[in-house]
Chains A and B, each alone.
Chain A
Amino acid sequence: METEYKRRVQKPVGICVLAIAVIIVLGLFQLFRYWIEYQKIKEDLPFMMAFIPLFLCIFTIASAVWLTVGDNWARIALLIFVSLNFLWWLYLVVMAISYNESNNFNFFYPLSTLVRPALVLGFSWWYLNSKEAVEYFKSIT
């Protein structure tokens, strides 16, 4: 009778780099950005509008930490939360651009805030679906 052993693949360094980038850019930095933007609003902020960014940023950080453990579900969770986090911010940017009433509104500022999250989103999708990363997660699970 033959016994099959799963070959243990060494953790690629890119996973740690990605987790740190996600925690900083889409976790801490994004939370700070929401806080800064919400300070500018004069009226009361509805509960849901405050809860959703907080929820998304915290779950993005948690899934990035989970990713370093090497669970395949963490890879899927990270892709979902990073995408939702970016898409919610994109939605707010689209709304801000569409419904601004100011004459001297600077379009470049909201658009520029999309660059870093978009880069991290692209890197996440590219790297976590690369052969190296998929092989590592399959070998662990």
Chain B
Amino acid sequence: MEDVQKKQMPKPIGLYILTICIFLRFAIFQFISDFNLIRESDSNTPFLIALILIGRNVLVAGAAVWAFLGEDWGRISLLAIVSLNVLWTLFNVITFVSYSENDQIIAPILSGLLNPIFWLVVCWWYLNSKNVLEYYKNND
């Protein structure tokens, strides 16, 4: 009978970089900007919207830590939550641009979408790359 031993793969260095970047961009910086948005808003922010804004940051933070630990479900949840996060931003921008009467503020708002879309593409590309998938499969 052959003894099959799983070779423990070292954590890819890119995973450290990606999860830390996602944590900073979508959990910390986004939380600060969402918090300021709620505080500086002229009208009262509805409870459900505030819950979604804060909840998405907390969920990204959790998923980034989970993916960092090497769980395959952590990888999947990070992809799902970052995608939902970017979609929420995209839907908000579409609604804002649709109802905006001031054409001059549209360009900076649209350019503000580039950064989250860039991170979304990086996430999907890197977390589905061959060596990362191998690492997660090996860890399972």
Residues of A at the B interface (CB closer than 8 Å) are 46-49, 52, 84, 87-88, 91, 94-95, 97-99
The residues of B that contact A88 with a CB separation of less than 8 Å are: 91
The residues of A that contact B10 with a CB separation of less than 8 Å are: none
Contact with A along B50-75 (1 / 0, CB 8 A): 00100000000000000000000000
In the bound complex, CA of A49 to CA of B32 (Å):
29
Could you list some 7 contacts between A and B, CB below 8 A?
A52-B94, A87-B84, A87-B87, A88-B91, A94-B52, A97-B48, A98-B48
Chain B, interface SS category: helix
- Please determine whether A95 and B87 come into contact, CB atoms closer than 8 angstroms: no
- Please determine whether B52 and A95 come into contact, CB atoms closer than 8 angstroms: no
Partner among B91, B98, B99 whose Cβ is within 8 Å of the Cβ of A91 = B91
Count of A-B residue pairs with CB < 8 Å: 26
The residues of B that contact A49 with a CB separation of less than 8 Å are: 95, 98
B43 to chain A, nearest CB (A): 9
- Please determine whether A98 and B94 come into contact, CB atoms closer than 8 angstroms: no
Residues of B at the A interface (CB closer than 8 Å) are 46-49, 52, 84, 87-88, 91, 94-95, 97-99
- Please determine whether A94 and B98 come into contact, CB atoms closer than 8 angstroms: no
- Please determine whether B46 and A46 come into contact, CB atoms closer than 8 angstroms: no
The residues of A that contact B48 with a CB separation of less than 8 Å are: 94, 97-98
- Please determine whether A48 and B98 come into contact, CB atoms closer than 8 angstroms: yes
Q: Contacts A94-B48, A94-B52, A98-B46 known; A46 to B98 CB distance under 8 Å? A: yes
- Please determine whether A99 and B88 come into contact, CB atoms closer than 8 angstroms: no
In the bound complex, CA of A91 to CA of B82 (Å):
16
- Please determine whether B91 and A47 come into contact, CB atoms closer than 8 angstroms: no
The residues of A that contact B94 with a CB separation of less than 8 Å are: 48, 52
Shortest Cβ-Cβ A-B pairs, 4 listed:
A46-B98, A98-B46, A48-B98, A91-B91
A50 to chain B, nearest CB (A): 9
The residues of B that contact A47 with a CB separation of less than 8 Å are: 98
User: Chain B residue with minimal CB distance to A52?
Assistant: B94
B65 to chain A, nearest CB (A): 25
The residues of A that contact B46 with a CB separation of less than 8 Å are: 98-99
